[in-house]
Amino acid sequence: MTSYSKNPDAIAALTDEQFWVTQESGTERPGSGRLLNNKEPGIYVDVVSGEPLFASSDKYESGCGWPSFTKPIEPAHVAELQDTTHGMVRTEVRSTHGDSHLGHVFTDGPADQGGLRYCINSASLRFIHRTDMQDEGYGAYLDQVEDVT
């Protein structure tokens, strides 16, 4: 079993935007994230801890300006907290082990897939292509990612 934790070396290697988003609960500008239009098969992991968060097979185009997912690949790795900033009541999502701010979850997702929309900052994620998952230690999740070969 892989152990995931807040990694000081990973934090030190973050870009300014990644640090602001993950460590200071920032939000990247809508439409600006490098993973917004990624349609490759693979998984999305926490940029700080490496814990698996979302599968490409659960990613969809919501039109909100951020990568959107219907559910976490590993629910225990995504913590939900009440967020009352900016005069709103929302549900913030953070990685459980890395404690990285990921984004928010809303109840306006596809009804036929559970009705949730995990609206996630690209800056909080590292994408691992399906062809690299085994080598990078994520082989256990291969059956949850579509094979396009």
**Among all residues, which ones are annotated catalytic?**
119
Task: Please say whether the beta carbons of 116 and 109 come within 8 A.
Answer: yes
Biggest CA-to-CA distance, the chain: 47
CA distance 123 to 135: 23
CA distance 53 to 69: 10
Task: Please say whether the beta carbons of 120 and 133 come within 8 A.
Answer: no
